[in-house]
Amino acid sequence: MSYRYDAGEVITAMVTPFNEKREIDYNKVEELSQYLMTHGSDAILVAGTTGEGPTLTHEEEFEMLSTVKRAVANKCKVIMNAGSNSTETAINSAKWAQKEEVDAILSVVPYYNKPSQEGMIEHFSAIAESTDLPIIIYNIPGRTGVNMQPTTVAKLAEKYTNIVGIKQSFGDMDAVTEMKLCCPEDFTIYSGDDSLTLPMMALGARGVVSVASHIFGSEMKSMIRNYKSGEFLAALNMHKKLYPAFRKLFMAPNPVPVKAALAHLNIIEDYVRRPLVELTSEQKKELFKVIDKVKKN
C-alpha cells in the first residue's frame, strides 16, 4: 500500500512536561521524546490537545519543537499542531511550521465558529495553498461542535495532494467506510481514539494518533503489526488487554490522566496548566490500579 505521506502506524500526541511552577521542563521534553521513539512511536505530534497546545505561547511552541527535533535526531518523524478556528492564524502557523522544517502538520476542523461544510473546504483549501507540507486534518466533533463529512474530506483530498490524511476522532464506523469509498486510494485515515484503533483498521485505517502509546507504545505497535500480518486473534487479544487502560486514560479531561500515569512510572511530573487540574488522590488510585494490572498481564 502506498501513501501520499507515511507518518507510520503509531503517532504519539505527546504531552508537554511541566515543573511545579507550570513551566515547561525541557530536559523532560527531551527525555520523553527519546523514550517514545524507542517504545513504539513512529512519529511525535508536538503541541496538540494532549500537549496542552492552547496554553502554550508561540515562544514555548518554538522551543518545544526545537527540543523534540534535537532529541529524536531524524530517527522519528515530528508533526506540528498548526490548527486554529481562525483561517489566517492557521495559515501563519502552517507557514511557520514549514520554515521550521517539520515533517507534517495536524490541522483541526475549526472549533467554536461551527462552519458549514463549504466553510471547511475554504478553510483547508487556504491552508493547503499556503504550504507544501503534508497536512493531516483533525476531525473531532466532540471538541469542535461540527463534524466534517466524508464527502467534504474527499473533495479536499482530491483537489490537494498535500492534504494527505485525517485523524478521525469520532466513533462512526460508517463514516470511515464512506471515506475509504470516496477518498483517493493513497489518502490515509488514522484513528484518533485508542480504543477505536483496531475497529478502524478493519475498515482500512493506517494506525492511530495515540495517547495510550505514552504508556503502552510497544503494545500498540504489536497490536497493529499483528493485525497487518494476519494474526487477527493476537491483535484482538492485545486490544482486549489494553481496553481497560484506554478507558481509564480518559476518566478526566485529556491529558490529565496520562500525565498522572507517566508520573506513576517516574517518567515526568503530572503538573497541568489551568484550566485543567490534576487528578485527586482517589482518582489516581483508581487509575494506577488499572495501569498496573494491564502492565502485569
Give the model's pLDDT for residue 90.
Answer: 97
Residues with catalytic function:
138, 167
Give the model's pLDDT for residue 9.
Answer: 98
Per-domain residue ranges for the chain? 10-229
Q: Which residues of 104-116 are buried (b: 16+ CB within 10 A; e: fewer)?
A: bbbbbbbbeeebe
Nearest CA-CA partner of 245 in 234, 259, 236, 257:
257
Per-residue pLDDT tens over the stretch 205-242: 999 999 999 999 999 999 999 999 999 999 999 999 99
CATH topology for 10-229? Answer: TIM Barrel (3.20.20)
d(Cα 56, Cα 145) in Å, to the nearest integer? 23
* pTM beyond cutoff 0.95: yes
Give the model's pLDDT for residue 1.
Answer: 77
More confident position, 1 or 41 = 41
Q: Find all residues with CB under 8 Å of 191, minimum gap 6, and list them.
A: 167, 168, 169, 197, 200, 201, 205, 207, 208, 209
Per-residue pLDDT tens over the stretch 269-289: 999 999 999 999 999 999 999
Q: Are the C-beta atoms of 260 and 270 separated by less than 8 Å?
A: yes
Per-residue pLDDT tens over the stretch 10-38: 999 999 999 999 999 999 999 999 999 99
